[in-house]
Chains A and B, each alone.
Chain A
Amino acid sequence: MVRFKNRYIVCKLEFGCRVTLPDLTQDAVYRAIATELQVLHGDYGTACARKYPNLTVQYLNPSTNLVMVRCSRDQCKQIQSCLPFVKKIGEVDVFLHTLHLAGTIRSCMKFIVRYHKSQLPLLMSECRNPVERKKVQEMLTDSCADSGRTLGLLERSTTSQ
C-alpha cells in the first residue's frame, strides 16, 4: 500500500518592529517560499515541489502570525534548507522562524494550541491596561478555536475522501 507521507512545518513570521503588522495572505507566503526554492534549488527543487503532496501553505493565522507549510517527506530537507533565506514576503521585511515539524496536521494543530496558550502570559505582561489584556485574551482564544476548527475541517475533508 503506497502512502503519501507529508511533513508539516509550523513557522512563525517574525517582523522586526512590531508597531504595525501588515496582513499577509497564504498565497503571498507560498510565493515567497517558492521563489527561494527556485533560487536555491533551481528547476529541480521547484519541480519536486509540484508533485503531490505539493508544497502548500495550509494554515495562516494573521493575528498570531503562525504559518503551517506542507511538503512531501522526501523534499522536507530541501524545503527546510531554503526557509532561512526568505527575507521578504511581498514588500514586507519578514523571516520565518521554524517552531515545529510534524507528520500530521493533527500534531501540528495540537502544537499550535499549546503554543498559543504559552504565549498568553508573555503577551499579557506586555499589555498596559485591562482593555488591551482582554483584547489579547480574546484573540488567543479565537486562535485556539480557529486551530481546532481548522483541524476539524481538515479531518472531515480527509475522511470524506
Chain B
Amino acid sequence: MSAPMDFNIPTCERSTLKEKIKMAHRLGYKAVAINIFIPELTQTSKKKKSQQQPTWKSFRQLTRISATLADVQHNFVMSTDIVQQYDLVAVQPTTDKTFYQACTALNVDIITLDVTEKLPFKLKRTTINAAVQRGIKFEFQYSPAIRDSTLRKYFIANAQQFVFCDKGKNIILTSGCEKAMELRGPYDVANLGSLLNLNAAQSKAAVTLNCEALLKHSESRRLNKSVSKVEKLEEIPGNETWLLDKLRVHSSLESVNGGSRDIAGIHGIDSSDEETSVDGPAAKKIKLVQT
C-alpha cells in the first residue's frame, strides 16, 4: 500500500499519546496528524505543539486542529492565523448552514462528519460537489465504531449516506482513537470500506491517496495566493545570481532523491513547479519561484 496515513490522533496526556504514535508507526502508517479538538470556537490562542518524541525516518507527524461549527457567525475564527498555521484544519459542522459554509467558504482541509449520532442535516450533492472541487475531503472516524455497537450503526449509516451522495471518491477514514489499542492497521481500515459500499480501490484510496491529496491541499492552503515567475537562467540580472547557487543545490538534491514524490520533501524554498528550458546549451531546470 502506498503511504497509508492516519490523520486523526487526538491529543491526550503525553504517555498515552506516545503510545498511540508508537503503535501507528508499528502498524505501518507513514504519516499521522495529532489533533487538537476545540468544542467551541472562541478567540483563544492555541500554541502549535512541537513535534512529539519519538521520531522515525519516513514517519511524518503533522499537527491538526478541529473545531465544531455551531453558529455561522462565529466561524471567522477559522480564517485567523492561529488556526491556519496548523498543518491540517478540520471542521465538524452541526447544522445545514454551517455545513454549507464549510463546503463553500471556509478555508479548511477536512470536513468531519459525526459518527456518534444521526446526521443532523441533509447531505446535498451540490454542496458536497462544491467542497470536492475545492479539494476538501470528508472524514469518518472508525474508533467510535470499534468502541461501541450503537456507534458502529451510526458510523455505517452516516458513511453509507455520504458515499451514496458522493460516489465514494472523497472520503478519508481516520481513527480518532482514545487509546493506542483502538488503532487498526491500514489494510484493516481499508477493509472497513466494504461495509460502507466502497469498492476495493476506493477503500484503499481512503487511507492512502486521498490523504496524500489532502497534504498537497493543506500546503496550497497555507501558501495562499501567489504569483509564479519564469526566467531563463541566462537572463537573470547580476544582483540575483545568488539564486543560481541556491537552485543548483536544490536540483542536485532532487537527483539524489530520484525526483521522488516524497511528501516529506524539501521545505524552506517556496517553490512548487518545475519547467525545463528548451533553449540553453546546458538544459538546466528552472524552478518557478513564488513571490
Which A residues lie within 8 Å of B189 (CB)?
84
Known A16-B19, A16-B180, A97-B185; contact A85-B146, beta-carbon cutoff 8 A? yes
B185 lies within 8 A of A81 (CB): no
How many whole Å from B196's CB to the nearest CB in chain A? 10
Once the chains are docked, how many angstroms separate the CA of A84 from the CA of B156?
A: 14
Which A residues lie within 8 Å of B194 (CB)?
77, 80-81
How many whole Å from A148's CB to the nearest CB in chain B? 26
Known A77-B194, A80-B194, A85-B146; contact A98-B180, beta-carbon cutoff 8 A? no
Contacting residues of chain B (178-197) with chain A, CB-CB under 8 angstroms: 179-181, 184-185, 187-189, 191-192, 194-195
**What 0/1 readout, one digit per residue, does chain A (61-79) give for beta carbons within 8 Å of chain B?**
0000000000000000100
A84 lies within 8 A of B184 (CB): yes
Taking A77-B194, A81-B192, A84-B189 as given, write out 13 further A-B residue pairs in contact, using a Cβ cutoff of 8 Å, ordered by the A residue number: A14-B23, A16-B180, A81-B191, A84-B184, A84-B188, A85-B145, A85-B146, A87-B181, A93-B181, A95-B181, A95-B184, A97-B185, A98-B188
Once the chains are docked, how many angstroms separate the CA of A84 from the CA of B26?
A: 16
Contacting residues of chain B (134-193) with chain A, CB-CB under 8 angstroms: 142, 145-146, 149, 152, 179-181, 184-185, 187-189, 191-192
A124 interfacial contact with B, CB 8 Å: no
Q: List 27 A-B contacts (CB under 8 A).
A: A14-B26, A16-B19, A16-B179, A16-B180, A16-B181, A40-B152, A40-B195, A80-B188, A80-B191, A80-B194, A81-B191, A81-B195, A83-B191, A84-B146, A84-B191, A84-B192, A85-B145, A85-B146, A85-B152, A93-B181, A95-B181, A95-B184, A96-B188, A98-B185, A98-B187, A98-B188, A98-B191
How many whole Å from B180's CB to the nearest CB in chain A? 6
Once the chains are docked, how many angstroms separate the CA of A85 from the CA of B191?
A: 11
How many whole Å from B11's CB to the nearest CB in chain A? 19
A47 interfacial contact with B, CB 8 Å: no
A39 interfacial contact with B, CB 8 Å: yes
B236 interfacial contact with A, CB 8 Å: no
How many whole Å from A95's CB to the nearest CB in chain B? 6
Contacting residues of chain A (26-82) with chain B, CB-CB under 8 angstroms: 39-40, 77, 80-81
Which A residues lie within 8 Å of B185 (CB)?
97-98
The 4 closest A-B pairs by CB, nearest first: A84-B188, A97-B185, A80-B191, A84-B184
Interface size (B, Cβ < 8 Å)? 21
**What 0/1 readout, one digit per residue, does chain B (188-211) give for beta carbons within 8 Å of chain A?**
110110110000000000000000
Once the chains are docked, how many angstroms separate the CA of A98 from the CA of B192?
A: 13
Which one of A16, A81, A87 contacts B146 once the chains associate, using CB atoms below 8 Å?
A87
Which one of A39, A40, A77, A83 contacts B188 once the chains associate, using CB atoms below 8 Å?
A83
Once the chains are docked, how many angstroms separate the CA of A40 from the CA of B146?
A: 11
Which B residues lie within 8 Å of A14 (CB)?
23, 26-27, 181
Closest-by-CB residue of A relative to B196 is: A81
Once the chains are docked, how many angstroms separate the CA of A93 from the CA of B191?
A: 21
B149 lies within 8 A of A39 (CB): yes
Once the chains are docked, how many angstroms separate the CA of A63 from the CA of B89?
A: 43
Which B residues lie within 8 Å of A16 (CB)?
19, 23, 179-181
Closest-by-CB residue of A relative to B200 is: A77
Which A residues lie within 8 Å of B146 (CB)?
84-85, 87
Which B residues lie within 8 Å of A85 (CB)?
145-146, 152
Closest-by-CB residue of B relative to A77 is: B194
Which A residues lie within 8 Å of B23 (CB)?
14, 16
How many whole Å from A77's CB to the nearest CB in chain B? 5
**What 0/1 readout, one digit per residue, does chain B (92-120) give for beta carbons within 8 Å of chain A?**
00000000000000000000000000000
Which B residues lie within 8 Å of A98 (CB)?
185, 187-188, 191
Once the chains are docked, how many angstroms separate the CA of A6 from the CA of B145?
A: 29
Once the chains are docked, how many angstroms separate the CA of A98 from the CA of B142?
A: 17
Once the chains are docked, how many angstroms separate the CA of A40 from the CA of B196?
A: 13
Once the chains are docked, how many angstroms separate the CA of A14 from the CA of B25?
A: 13
How many whole Å from B160's CB to the nearest CB in chain A? 13
Closest-by-CB residue of A relative to B156 is: A40
